[in-house]
Structure 1
Amino acid sequence: MSTRLALSRAYPYGVPAFAAALADPEFHRVKLDADGSGRIEVLAFERTGPPDGAERVRVVLRQPIPPGQIPAMVEQLLSGVLVIERTEEWTLTPARCAGRARVAVPGTPISADGTMSVVGEDAGSRLSVDLDITAAVPLLGGGIERAVVTGIRGLTGREHDRISRWLDDEERAG
């Protein structure tokens, strides 16, 4: 069984601005660095495809989560620092960005898998994320999944701020 998490946020930037950001490995590191610690690692980054057609981007990130930002139910499963390994695969065009996300939490039975997209809207674009979170723990799995969903919802506001700041900076520089 899994718990679904669907998030959506509007941005005042067009899809081409998001496509350019998603094609930059530093963007991925910065957007996840919610506490500003600089501990997010880009483990792998691949960018393929013609510059005038659909580009493909694959990024693998490692994100340590400090104690106190981890739901208590999850913290009990850990023998050390919680580390999230996140893989995103994107197809980028000026009209739409479509992606897949896979999240693993090494040393735990917690994972997530889902889709992401950036589509144009009247005043900019909309980033949508749809994840299925799974905690393969008999009897406690549902509670752990709900705690993880709550934790993710708490981090998305800071991630939104970092995405907006990046896109603002790029718009001013461009």
Structure 2
Amino acid sequence: MSTRLALSRAYPYGVPAFAAALADPEFHRIKLDVDGSGRIEVLAFDRADGPGDTRRIRVVLRQPVPPGQVPSVVERLLSGVLVIERTEEWRLGPQRCDGRARVAVPGTPISAAGTMSVAGDDEGSRLSVDLDITAAVPLLGGGIERSVVTGIRGLTGSEHDRISRWLDGAERAG
């Protein structure tokens, strides 16, 4: 059993601006640094040219979750600090970017997997994320999954702000 999380945000920037950001490992680190601690680590970053105007990137990140942002039902499963390991694989193009995400929480039975996309719209582009969150805990799994979804939804505002600031800065620099 899993719990689905679907999120979508509009940005006043075209797909090429998003593709340029996604091709920069620092962007991935900054977008996740919700508490400004600088503790997000880029463990791996691979970039390769694809067919036509496309590029492929793969980024692996380690993200400690600040105390107080961990749902209490999840905190009980931990023996220390909650750490999220996130792998994103993207196909970047001038008209659309498509990705897959895998998330693991070492030392817990919690994981997530899903898709991401950036597509153009009339006013810029739209980032969409569709994840299935799984907590393989008998009887308690559904409650843990819902707590994780609530926690992620609470962090998306900060992530949206960081993405917007990055894209604003890139637009001014360009």
TM-score range, shorter chain: over 0.9
Percent identity reads: 84
**Amino acid paired to 1:110:** I
Other-structure match for 1:115: 115
Cα displacement string for residues 54-78 of structure 1 (whole angstroms, at most 9, x for unaligned residues) = 1000000000002110000000000
Other-structure match for 1:168: 168
Deviation at 1:97, TM superposition (A): 0.2
TM-score, normalised relative to structure 2: 0.99
- In structure 2, distance between residues paired with 1:154 and 1:124: 24
TM-score, normalised relative to structure 1: 0.99
**Amino acid paired to 2:152:** I
**Amino acid paired to 2:173:** A
- Structure 2: gaps (5+ residues): none
Deviation at 1:53, TM superposition (A): 1.8
**Amino acid paired to 2:131:** L
Other-structure match for 2:99: 99
Deviation at 1:51, TM superposition (A): 9.4
- In structure 1, distance between residues paired with 2:51 and 2:140: 48
- In structure 2, distance between residues paired with 1:50 and 1:133: 30
**Amino acid paired to 1:134:** T
Mapped contact 2:14–2:120 kept (Cα < 8 A): yes
- In structure 2, distance between residues paired with 1:21 and 1:66: 25
Considering only aligned residues, what root-mean-square deviation do their CA atoms show, in Å? 1.0
- In structure 2, distance between residues paired with 1:69 and 1:51: 41
Deviation at 1:10, TM superposition (A): 0.3
**Amino acid paired to 2:10:** A
Q: Does residue 48 in structure 1 map to residue 57 in structure 2?
A: no
Other-structure match for 2:72: 72
- In structure 2, distance between residues paired with 1:110 and 1:26: 26
Other-structure match for 1:124: 124
Other-structure match for 1:6: 6
Mapped contact 2:50–2:56 kept (Cα < 8 A): no
Other-structure match for 2:141: 141
- In structure 2, distance between residues paired with 1:40 and 1:4: 25
Cα displacement string for residues 64-114 of structure 1 (whole angstroms, at most 9, x for unaligned residues) = 002110000000000000000000000000100000000000000000000
Secondary structure of 2:30 counterpart: helix
Other-structure match for 2:61: 61
